[in-house]
Structure 1
Amino acid sequence: MQKDAYALILEAIDNGVYKPGDRLVEAELAERFGVSRTPVREALQRLETQSMLTRDGRSLIVASLDHNQLAELYVVRAELEGLAARLAAKHATPEEVKVLSDLVEADHAHLDDPAALSRANRRFHKQIHLASHNRYLVQQLDLVHRSMALLATTSLAAEGRGAAALGEHAAIVKAIAAGDGIGAQDALRAHISKAFETRLKLDAGSGCNLEGG
C-alpha cells in the first residue's frame, strides 16, 4: 500500500531526514515524495495541529522540545512503557518472547553505530508494545514515540550507554519471559529513567536535544 503524504513526512522526521528547526517547504516536499501539493498541504496542517510542526513567521519548521516538555514526555513514557512490559509479561506468546530475546542478541552488532542502534532500540520497544496485546496502549505509545522524533540525536551515542542499554533490555526480557509483571515494569521504568538521566547530562554539555533510550 502506498504511503500518503502525512506518513511520508512523519517517517522522514522520525528518520532524521528533517530535524528540529528544519523548514518544510510545500513544493520541495511534493517533489521529494512525488505527490501533488494539496495532500502535502493537508499533511502539514495535520502535523502542525499535532504540534510536530510549529510556525516561524510564515514558515513551518520541525518543532523541538524544551526542558519541561522533555521531562513531561519521559514521565508519560516511563508509565506507559512500564504498563506495556507488565502486560507483556502476562500476555506475550513464547514466539514474541523469543523475538525480543533475539533482538537483544542481534543489537550487539550495532554498538559502534549509534544511529543503527537507535533504530534497533525503537524496534525493541515497539515489540514490547505489541506484546502487551492492548491496542489502546499501543496507540498511546505510538503518539509518545512520535514526539520522541522531535529529539535531534540519540542518547545511545553517549560513551558506554549502548552496552548498558542492551543490558537493561536483557533484564526486561528476562522478567517478561518469567511472567514477572512487576519485575518487567520496574526494569523498563528504570531503563527509561537511565535514558533520561543520560540525555540530561548530554543536553547540559552540548545544548542540543537527544533522541532514543
Structure 2
Amino acid sequence: MQKVETQGLSQGEAAYQQLHAAIRSGTYQPGDRLREVEVAERLALSRTPVREALRKLESDGIVEHRARIGAVIRTLTHPEIVELYEMRVVLERTAAEMAAKHASPAEIDTMVDMNDRILAARDDARTASAINQDFHRCICLAARNRFLLASAQALNNALMLLGPTTLEDEARIKTVCQQHGDIIEAIRSGNAKAAGAAAALHLETSLRHRLKAQGA
C-alpha cells in the first residue's frame, strides 16, 4: 500500500487518502473488490474508518456497491471512456493555450524534466504513468486559471478508472514523449494555437491506444 501523508487527519480521512492513492497508483485496479477486513489490515485501522472511506469513494463515483459482492472499483464502459477523453481534449487544449500565455520559464523547465523522466522510466510503466499524470497537471497549473484547474481535477477520479496504463512499451513511450515535446515547445514559444493543437493531437492519440488496449 502506497504511503501518503496522513498526519492531522481523522482515521476515516486517512483511510480515504490512502485508498485513493492506492487506486491512483494501480495497487488496486478497476474491477477489484475492496474487502473491509483486508483493507483494514493493510492500513492498520479498524473497519469503521475503512467503511467510511469506502462510502466516500462511492460518492466520488470511484467505487460501486454490488449485491452479494460488496465494494468494487468501477470499470468504465466504452462510451464513458470516449466521453472522458472528449472532455480531456477540451480542457487540455485550453490549458495548453493558456499555459503558452502564462507559463514561467521554471514551469517549462519542470515540464522538460518530467518528460525526460518519463522516457527514462520506459522500463517501469507504473512510474512512467505517475510522472505522466504530474506532467499534465503541471500544464494545468501553468494555465493560471483556478476554474480550469478545478475542472481538470474533477476528471482525476474518472482517470483512475481507466485501468492499466497504455505506457507499456518503448515505442509508445517515445511517441508520448515526442508529443509532449511538441506541446512544450509551443508553450515555450508562446504560440497558443500550436500548443492547443499539439495537446489535442496528443489526447486523440492516447484515446486510440486506450481503446485498442481494451479491445474496443
- What TM-score, normalized by structure 1, do the two folds share? 0.90
- Which of 174, 179, 197 aligns to 1:168? It is 179
Partner of 2:44: 34
The alignment status of 1:21 with 2:31, answered yes or no, reads: yes
Q: Aligned-pair RMSD on alpha carbons?
A: 1.6
- Which of 62, 82, 85 aligns to 2:73? It is 62
Displacement of 1:159: 5.9
The alignment status of 1:183 with 2:197, answered yes or no, reads: no
> For residues 61-210 of structure 1, what are the structure 2 equivalents within 5 Å?
61-158=72-169, 160-204=171-215
- Give every structure 1 segment of 4 or more consecutive aligned residues whose post-TM-superposition deviation is greater than 3 Å: none
1:153-190 CA-partner distances (Å, limit 9, x unpaired): 11121561110110000000001111111111110110
> SS at 2:167's partner residue?
helix
Partner of 1:44: 54
Aligned AA for 1:38? Answer: T
> SS at 2:127's partner residue?
helix
Tell me, in whole angstroms, the C-alpha distance in 2 between the residues paired with 1:26 and 1:191: 39
Displacement of 1:70: 0.5
Alpha-carbon contact 1:114-1:156 (below 8 Å) kept: yes
Displacement of 1:48: 0.9
Tell me, in whole angstroms, the C-alpha distance in 1 between the residues paired with 2:126 and 2:34: 23
Q: How many residues align?
A: 205
- What TM-score, normalized by structure 2, do the two folds share? 0.88
Alpha-carbon contact 1:158-1:202 (below 8 Å) kept: no
